Amino acid sequence: MSLALPPAVWMAHFLAVYVLVSLACPAGLEGLVRPGVAIATLAALAFFAAFGFAAWRGAGAPGETRAFIAYTNALVCALSAVGTLWVAAPAFMLAPCAS
């Protein structure tokens, strides 16, 4: 189900940054956190842009069901991108390993 793919990428990004902080901080690798979060975020955003754009173009395609799924997919991509940015933002506002 292609509709589940963008939020799954959002979730993979979420888990990646969460696990990164959980592992890097106890290991004393604080410097890895921000670059790691930045790379994961850019990768996720690139996916949403590519997948969302393809879906948006497909929304005009013939066939009611396909058009519906393409349109919804484009919306899901946009929301997932917002969610990803939102989750990544604190990494650049807080000291990475503060407790």
Partner 1 sequence: MSEALHRRLEEIWCTPKGLRALTGVNHTTVGLRFIVTGFVFFLVGGVLAMLIRSQLAFPGNDLLGHRAYNAAFTLHGTAMMFFFAVPIMEGFAVYLIPKLIGARDLVFPRLSAFGYWCYLFGGLLLFSSVLVGDPPDSGWFMYTPLSSKPWSPGLGSDFWLLGVTFAEISAVAAAIELTVSILKTRAPGMTLARMPLFAWYILVTSLLIVFGFPPLILASILLEVERAFGLPFFAPHAGGDPLLWQHLFWLFGHPEVYIIFLPAAGLVSTLLPAFAQRPIAGYAWVVLAVIATGFLSYALWVHHMFATGIPLLSLSFFSAASMAVAIPSGIQVFAWIATLWAGRPLMKVPLLFVLGFLFIFVLGGLTGVMVALVPFDWQAHDSHFVVAHLHYVLFGGMVFPLFAGLYYWMPLVTGRQPSETGGRVAFWLIFIGFNLTFLPMHWTGLLGMPRRVYTYPEGLGWELLNLVSTVGGFLTAAGVAAFLIDIALQRRYGPRSAGNAWNAGTLEWSMRSPVPSYNFASQPAVDDRDPLWREPELAAKAQAGAFYLGHPEPQRREMMVTSALHAEPQQVAILPGNTWTPLVAALLTGLFFLGFLVKAYWLAALGAALAVAALAAWAWQGSSRGGPLEIDAGLGARLPFHYATAAPPGYWGGLVTLIADATLYASLLFAYFFLWTVSPAWPPQGYRDAGLALPALGLAVLVASSVVVRLGRGSTPATLFAMALAAAFVALEGAALLPALEARSHAYDALVFSIWGYAVLHVAVAILMAGFVIARRRSGYHERVGEARVAELFWHYAVAAWAAGFLVVHVFPFLVPR
Rg (CA), the chain: 16
Binding letters toward partner 1, positions 66-95, x by CB under 8 A: -xxx-xx--xx--xx-xx--xx-xxx-xxx
Q: Is 36 helix (H, G, I), strand (E, B) or coil?
A: helix
C-alpha to C-alpha distance for 93 and 34, rounded to whole angstroms: 10
C-alpha to C-alpha distance for 82 and 71, rounded to whole angstroms: 17
Contact status: 32 vs partner 1 (CB under 8 A): no
Write out the residues near partner 1 by the rule CB under 8 A: 3-4, 7-8, 10-11, 14, 17-18, 21-23, 25-26, 33, 64-65, 67-69, 71-72, 75-76, 79-80, 82-83, 86-87, 89-91, 93-99
